[in-house]
């Protein structure tokens, strides 16, 4: 089982890990712990390096995380580094999605169906079809106001059975990671 360091500290840029298994001639490794976020829910994976080898892809395989590399590793213990510029960009886009989704929900009862973020664009898919430009401007105005208010964004962990007040109910069991924007949003993430 891979310890997922990114849940507890999304600002972690480097760490040391033990290789517990290899596959594909050493081009896929499984670590005892990782800060590399796997592709999930519309968010691309982190990249960076493990033991000097470039991380090409990171995939969630249930209890463990697969790291696909450009070259096999030379040692079973490796220094790992996250591509911080990419990670921080994704963090900002992801937080922005939480904010915009909450604003559309509160102001217009428009529910987020999905979202995608990437290097060049981010999209949020909402129920209800096309929007008029006035709706978009009002959502943008309200989201910017919340940013200027500098509201705290908090991350907490709660048991799914006890989690209440979520913008969208979660069908997951066990521990949920919950992101909250003070006075606006509380979402399983």
Predicted local distance difference test score (pLDDT) of residue 120: 81
What integer is the mean pLDDT of 153-173? 89
- pLDDT tens for each residue of 33-69: 999 999 987 789 999 999 999 999 999 999 999 999 9
Where exactly does CATH 2.40.30.130 map onto the chain?
3-82
Sign (positive or negative) of CA dihedral 53, 58, 64, 70:
negative
3-82 to CATH, choices 3.30.260.10, 3.40.50.2000, 3.30.465.10, 2.40.30.130: 2.40.30.130
Sign (positive or negative) of CA dihedral 139, 101, 125, 64:
positive
| DSSP state letter for 42 | T
CA-based radius of gyration for the chain: 19
How do beta strands 33-34 and 3-4 pair? parallel
């Amino acid at each position: 089982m891979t310890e997922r360091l990114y849940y507890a500290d999304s600002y972690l840029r480097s760490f040391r890990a033990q290789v517990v298994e290899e596959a594909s001639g050493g081009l896929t490794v499984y670590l005892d712990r990782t800060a590399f976020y796997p592709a999930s829910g519309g968010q691309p994976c982190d990249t960076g390096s493990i033991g000097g080898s470039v991380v090409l892809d990171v995939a969630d395989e249930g209890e463990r995380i697969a790291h696909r590399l450009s070259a096999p590793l030379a040692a079973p213990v490796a220094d790992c580094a996250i591509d911080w510029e990419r990670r921080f960009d994704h963090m900002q886009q992801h937080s922005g999605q939480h904010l915009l989704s909450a604003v559309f929900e509160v102001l217009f009862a428009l529910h987020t169906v999905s979202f995608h973020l990437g290097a060049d664009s981010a999209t949020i898919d909402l129920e209800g079809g096309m929007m008029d430009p006035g709706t978009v401007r009002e959502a943008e105005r309200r989201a910017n106001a919340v940013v200027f208010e500098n509201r705290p964004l908090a991350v907490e962990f709660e048991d799914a059975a006890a989690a209440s007040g979520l913008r969208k109910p979660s069908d997951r069991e066990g521990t949920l990671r919950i992101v909250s924007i003070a006075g606006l949003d509380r979402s399983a993430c």
